[in-house]
Amino acid sequence: MDEADRQLLRRCRVRLVSELQVAALWDALLSRGLFTLAMIEDIQHAGCGSRSDQARQLIIDLETRGSQALPLFISCLEDTGQDMLASLLRMSGQAEKQRSREAIRPLDLRPGVPRPMGTEREELTVKQEPAKPTPGGQLSRENVNLSYVLNVDPCGLCLIINNVNFSLSSGLSPRTGSNIDCEKLQRCFRSLHFMVEVEYDLTAQQMVQAFVELARQDHSALDCCVVVILSHGCEASHRQLPGAVYGTDGCSVSIEKIVKIFNGAHCPSLGGKPKLFFIQACGGEQKDPGFEVASTSCEDRTPGEDTESDSVPFPEGPGTSDEPDARSSLPTPSDILVSYSTFPGFVSWRETKRGSWYIETLVSVLEQWAHSEDLQTLLLRVANAVSQKRIYKQMPGCFNFLRKKLFFKT
């Protein structure tokens, strides 16, 4: 398999592992000679023998199966009714070839057209047009000097950790309504041209492993990376980024540690690219009753019996303190944005029948405004809308280390 096909498989690996129905593929793979029976049996016994483990091993082994492996694999997908994945691979491959063709532009040697200065073999670079001001005087979103470029499709990977059910020993209640958040987020980020993978009910160690595996992937052909965490949370000792989230075993992982996994030292293929973290979890146990203002346009929805918080006490006992991890520093904090559902120390509200205030509002704002506004402006809209809920208050916020504006691909 040539390098371009290998890179294509690696870019699509998250989506393939998440959705590939391997049981339907074995006969097709055999009949087309892509794998022998012994090879297929080895794949079936990979890891724990789960569907995702088999899918992951299949994609890895596919890279060793010759120059026609990718088109034959796409045909197998079509034969087994997995047309969405077949289209993903086919269209992504065509898009990459188109970008390669556009990268090399022939010289225009028509009569009357002046040649560029230098030798006849000198390569031309595409001249960048100056940014055009909008009617309001601001630079347009196409100005690449002020905006991150999200051109490829898919533009990046999006990992969602959805912790709903916690062990009895953890003392943490089920997060009813979180699946609603998760479904909304999947639809939303897929519409923004991300490949979305969801992991359910992970322990603290499994969460860290999922982040490490994501950071180890080759993101060189992608433009962005998104991590969303839906879980219980708490306060945590920290030097730079506050808060921690809980695994289903009741052990916590600091936000600071999670973000550090994706820095330049651990994930060089994301260097210079935006890395976005959205945290739906409590930052503590305080409930904010708010304060009176002269006038407000608050929503009338009131927290009732179907409203819960994602808060648990600050961990203080041995074995649960987050302090050792939180003391690790961030050597390369650029190109990172961490969006919190609530102010550090305060609870984050979630409704059992509608999902959390923060995720519901975030998805709504992205759907309405992502086509025209940058991420910071979108998050201001989210913060303003969530802050106006009634009785108890909630104030989302973010730690922004982005160097440029970010406009999602819509």
Could you report the per-residue pLDDT of 148-175, keeping only the tens digit for each?
999 899 999 999 999 999 999 999 999 9
As a whole number of angstroms, the distance between CA 312 and CA 29 comes to: 50
Q: What residue ranges do the domains of the chain occupy? A: 3-100, 156-401
**pTM score, whole prediction:** 0.59
As a whole number of angstroms, the distance between CA 410 and CA 407 comes to: 9
Per-residue pLDDT for 143 more than 80? Answer: no
Per-residue pLDDT for 117 more than 80? Answer: no
Question: What's the mean pLDDT in 255-260?
Answer: 93
Give residue 306's pLDDT.
Answer: 57
As a whole number of angstroms, the distance between CA 222 and CA 337 comes to: 17
Indicate if 156-401 has the same CATH topology as 3-100: no
User: Which two tokens mark 399?
Assistant: 């730690």
Question: What's the mean pLDDT in 297-309?
Answer: 48
User: pLDDT-derived band of residue 320, with 50, 70 and 90 as boundaries?
Assistant: very low
- The overall average pLDDT reported for the chain is 78
140 or 41: which leads in pLDDT? 41
Per-residue pLDDT for 325 more than 60? Answer: no
- For this structure, is 232 an active site residue? yes
Residue 85: CA count within 13 A, CB half-sphere: 29
- Out of 193, 219, 232, 238, the active site residue is 232
Fold of domain 3-100: Death Domain, Fas (1.10.533)
Name residues whose C-beta falls within 8 Å of residue 18's C-beta, 6 or more positions apart in sequence: 52, 196, 197, 198
Per-residue pLDDT for 390 more than 70? Answer: no
- For this structure, is 224 an active site residue? no
Tens digits of per-residue pLDDT, 216-240?
999 999 999 999 999 998 887 777 8
Rg (CA), the chain: 24
User: pLDDT-derived band of residue 287, with 50, 70 and 90 as boundaries?
Assistant: very low
Question: What's the mean pLDDT in 13-31?
Answer: 89
**DSSP assignment letter at 254:** E
> What percent of the chain is helix, strand and coil (3-state, nearest 5)?
35, 15, 50
User: pLDDT-derived band of residue 321, with 50, 70 and 90 as boundaries?
Assistant: very low
Q: CATH assignment of 156-401?
A: 3.40.50.1460
Helix (H) / strand (E) element for 355: namely strand 355-356
Residue ranges of alpha helices (H) inside 340-406 are 357-369, 375-386
- Between β-strands 336-340 and 275-280, what pairing exists: parallel, antiparallel or unpaired? parallel
